[in-house]
Structure formats: C-alpha cells, structure tokens
Chain A
Amino acid sequence: NAGVMQNPRHLVRRRGQEARLRCSPMKGHSHVYWYRQLPEEGLKFMVYLQKENIIDESGMPKERFSAEFPKEGPSILRIQQVVRGDSAAYFCASSPTGGGGASNQPQHFGDGTRLSIL
C-alpha cells in the first residue's frame, strides 16, 4: 500500500501522559499536513511541514503540541500532558509539492489516529 500511513490507528492515554502520533507520507511526497477532527466538528488545520521545516503552524495550540518531520522517518505529532479535550481523530495528509492550496495538488489522507483520553 503506497498510501499515507498513520499509526497507531487507536491510542488511549490517561490525563497527563504523552501521545505520539506518526505519519508516513505517500512515496515521493515531501509535504505533510496535520488536521484534527473533534466530535461533531469539521476538520481543522493544525500544521504544515516539509522535510526538516515547519512551514505553517498557525493552527497548532501554543502549548503542549509540537510537530516534526525529520530528514529520515515519519512525521510526528506530539501532545504532552494530554487532557480530555484532546480526544479527537487526528489526520495526516501529504502532497508531492509545496505551497498548500497554491500548488493545486489534491491532498492524500491517511486513515487517522483516534486518540481517547481517559
């Protein structure tokens, strides 16, 4: 399967723990976007990364959340000291070229990670 791979598919954490979500883009794609889908809400943009660079993190909460896309390996979305309100589905998308919508390239999505906070 050459699609966008996210793992784990489901993640359960207790309040105060750390959550690490991983995303491997499609082969040949070097641009990754993270979105969050809260219950009964639409997808909200969080962050846009290129290899080793954060291009736009305007949708990311200022505290406890961070993202990286190293030269080797998957992109990681990290949530520290999780709270109940972090329970959501987190989706990753990739595209072959940058510029977000300006590239006029469709985004390819993974199946998401469902994060549940006890």
Chain B
Amino acid sequence: KQEVTQIPAALSVPEGENLVLNCSFTDSAIYNLQWFRQDPGKGLTSLLLIQSSQREQTSGRLNASLDKSSGRSTLYIAASQPGDSATYLCAVSPGNQFYFGTGTSLTVIP
C-alpha cells in the first residue's frame, strides 16, 4: 500500500529565506505527483503537477522536483513571503486514487 510522508511536519522561517519541503513515497509506480497548498478552513489549491516522466516543474518562485526511482520529491520556495504561510501537501497517484501526505505547516515570519 502506498504511503506518503512529509518532513518536516512544521517549519518556521524568516521572510526572504529560501526553503525546501520534502515528500517521500513508498511505491514508485505512480502517474504523477502533485503539490498543494491548504489555507486554514479552506480547500486545496494545486500548485504544481509533475508527471512520472518529468524531473521537475516550475511556477514563479516554486520549483518541484521528482525522483521516482528513489520515491522522493522536493518543493523549493524561493524568497519566502508571509503570504506563503500555509500547509503544503503532496499527493501521488498510481491510478484512480490520490494518496496524500499529512503536510508541512509553514510559517513565514515578517
């Protein structure tokens, strides 16, 4: 059964720092990996989707990488801002289902 782990569970950084969030998964037979952002009391917003044949995707200050063989992905956030404060979730999909990690709660201190 697919298991997704995110480390660290919580992270606090001063504004302007670059940071990396980690995601690992146990079964490399996936179609894609997706990174989401969740704000308190809200749903999930899709940030980046990396297909299994791709190594990375970029959107603005965000860069996500995927190493399918080792079961790892990272989300790099450049020049963090207080507005980046949220919980970040990764999810992998081997088929119909999406398996989610429990998230990293990020706080960016002004």
Contact A45 B97, CB 8 Å, known A101-B31, A102-B31, A106-B34: yes
Q: Which of A33, A45, A58, A104 has the most CB of B within 10 A?
A: A104
Q: Which of A40, A42, A111 is the most central at the interface, judged by chain B CB atoms within 10 Å of its CB?
A: A42
Q: Which of B11-19, B65-73, B87-95 lines the interface with chain A?
A: B87-95
Q: With A101-B31, A101-B32, A104-B51 given, is the CB distance from A111 to B43 under 8 Å?
A: yes
Question: Does B4 contact A99, Cβ atoms closer than 8 Å?
Answer: no
By secondary structure, the A interface counts as mixed
List the A side residues contacting B51 at CB < 8 Å.
Answer: 104
Q: Are B44 and A91 in contact (CB under 8 A)?
A: yes
The residues of A that contact B34 with a CB separation of less than 8 Å are 106-107
B44/A101 in contact, CB under 8 A: no
Question: Which of chain B's residues 87-107 have a Cβ closer than 8 Å to chain A?
Answer: 89, 91-103
CA distance in complex: A22, B81 (Å): 35
Asked if A101 and B43 make an inter-chain contact with CB atoms under 8 angstroms apart, the answer reads no
Please report which residues of chain A, range 65-111, place their CB below 8 angstroms from some CB of chain B when the two chains form the complex: 91, 93, 99-102, 104, 106-111
Instruction: Decide yes or no whether A18 CB sits under 8 A from chain B.
Output: no
Complex CA gap A59/B42 in Å reads 22
Number of interface residues of B (CB under 8 A): 28
> Cβ of A108 and Cβ of B46 under 8 Å apart?
yes
CB pair B95–A42 under 8 Å, yes or no, is: no
B49 at the A interface (CB under 8 A) = yes
- A42-B89, A104-B49 known; A56 vs B97 contact (CB < 8 Å): yes
Across the interface, B43 reaches (CB within 8 A) one of A33, A48, A59, A109, namely A109
Pick the residue among A43, A101, A109 that contacts B96 (CB under 8 A).
A101
A48 CB contact (under 8 Å) in B41, B42, B96, B99: B96
Q: Taking beta carbons and an 8 Å cutoff, which residues of B are in contact with A?
A: 4, 30-32, 34, 36, 41-46, 49, 51, 89, 91-103
